Amino acid sequence: MQATINFIVSIVSTPAILVALIAMLGLALQKKPGTKTLEGTIKTFVGFLVLTGGAGIIQGALAPFASMFKFALHVQGVVPSNEAVVAIALQQYGSTTALIMFVGMVVNVLLARFTKFKYIFLTGQAMLYVSCLTAVVLISTGMKSGVGTILLGGLFEGTLLTVTPALCQPFMRKITGGDSVAMGHTGNIGYATAGLMGKWFGNAKKSTEDIKFPKGLSFLRDSTVSITLVMAIVYLILALVSGPNFIETKLSSGSNFLVYAITQAGTFAAGFYVVLAGVRMILGEIVPAFQGIATKLVPNAKPALDVPIIFPYAQNALLIGFFVSFIVGTLSMFAMIAMGTTVIIPGVVGHFFCGGAAGIYGNATGGRRGAIIGSTVNSLLISWLPLLILPVLGGLKLAASTFADTDYLIPGILLGNLGSYGQVAITGGIIAFTAIVIIWSFFLKESKKKAVKDQG
């Protein structure tokens, strides 16, 4: 039984395999020739490996950035890192997490089939992490690791992963210029908030992507060049503040500290280049393959894919969002030190992926100002909300890490606080959440029909 669970978890938490299987199903449903089905499946599989490999390169380049930052400022505290906290939690909650994830996938497909929210969440590691958060919070409120907890947790996760792409889709249409792909990440609540901030307070006519460089600096239009130069400046400043002794003894294995800093900046840019190549491969395969699923199984279904899928659309906004988000996170850290609270150290990876994406969403609706405001608001959420989720994580509140993204933090805080009123309250709350989403969906359907009728 445990071996079977581990096998299922390994498949659904490995995006390359999960999405390749989805592509294969879609192509088979379209009755494509066996060779075309095999070709599309392999290209989707490899495309996701390219994307995740690029993301891994970026994370690897950001790791010394984080180490230098902590050393230079001499701070200790809790670092938001989904990977770190889940690795700790799975030791105790592994089986419950796996079963919640399976039920959550079924709920997601059923809601996509029978409601207006036609989004199938395909980011495997995010599904695993949400399942883990749900298991931790439910069990920390006193529920036992039984069938009831698994079904309740799966209902909560499946509903959450169906509705959050829907929140982002109006902004995804602006970003991508189409409606064929959705956002399947755990920062969706923050991204939708950033999009709204841009809409309310920004100016969409002045896009970050229209920034004009002087003629002599036109070479900066090449994203590889501009990203390398910007990150090199940042790394060199941190390297100089940290000093050669720390870097050469702790990070670079004796290599010169300035050469090491420049190499990490180049590695970061290389990872970004690889991510863009992976995105192009995936979009070229998964969207056409999904037509078979949309036609046969879930009409009008859209794949909800990981956050790097939007990086090619607004690369200036990505960098602006990252730096604004990280600066706001750093200022928040100093505020926590002054207030004497638990100190949340800004996680560089989280601020790059979530802050950068928030910048892209804010730019889509509010231009440069929207990118800055959107990433600022998102950064405040991921910087301060970890203080509120720590008390509902049971034994994990003592860990040196915690959950990082808005879609863990906000639902986790609400679920945990609801659980403080007892198991009946948390059961009723989850059922009510799913019911509200279903009713909302059908209300939107009726509203749309009414609008069409009125226009007729």
275 vs 387: which has the higher pLDDT: 387
Cα(386)–Cα(378) distance, integer angstroms: 13
Report how far Cα 147 is from the mean position of its chain's Cα atoms: 29
Cβ–Cβ under 8 Å, residues 403 and 84: no
Give me the amino acid identity at 135: A
Angle (nearest 5°) at CA 314 between 310 and 315:
100
125: pLDDT strictly greater than 70 = yes
pLDDT at residue 91 above 80? no
Half-sphere exposure of 439 toward its Cβ, with a 13 Å CA cutoff? 6
pLDDT value of position 453: 44
Instruction: Give φ, ψ of 119 to 5 degrees.
Output: -115, 120
- CA distances (Å), 421 to each of 179, 199, 409, in order? 41, 37, 19
Q: How far is CA 334 from the centre of its chain?
A: 26
Q: Which of 94-98, 179-183, 361-365, 367-371 has the lowest mean pLDDT?
A: 94-98
Full-model pTM: 0.82
Q: Which has more confidence, 446 or 115?
A: 115
- Residue 63: its pLDDT value, please? 79
At residue 19, does pLDDT exceed 60?
A: yes
- The predicted pLDDT at position 220 comes to 53
Per-residue model confidence (pLDDT) at position 33: 87
Reduced to 3 states, what is the DSSP secondary structure of residue 79? strand
Q: How far from 325 is each of 109, 232, 330, CA to CA, in Å? A: 34, 19, 9
Instruction: Please say whether the beta carbons of 40 and 133 come within 8 A.
Output: no
Q: Do residues 51 and 57 touch, judged by C-beta distance below 8 A? A: no
Instruction: Report the alpha-carbon distance of residue 265 to residue 16 in Å, rounded.
Output: 27
Mean per-residue pLDDT over the chain, rounded? 84
Per-residue tokens: 11: 């498949």
Tell me what the mean pLDDT of segment 363-374 comes to: 95
pLDDT of residue 428 exceeding 70 = yes
Average pLDDT over residues 111-130: 88
Q: Per-residue pLDDT for 308 more than 80? A: yes
In the structure encoding, which two tokens stand for residue 201, read together?
């307070």
Please identify which residue in the block is written with the tokens 């390297």: 239
Asked if 362 and 370 count as a contact pair (C-beta separation under 8 A), the reply is yes
Q: What is the rounded CA–CA span in Å between residue 387 and residue 389?
A: 6
Tell me which of 67-81, 126-140, 244-258, 387-401 is least confident.
387-401
Q: Count CB neighbours of 65 within 10 A.
A: 22
Residue with tokens 């901030």: 197
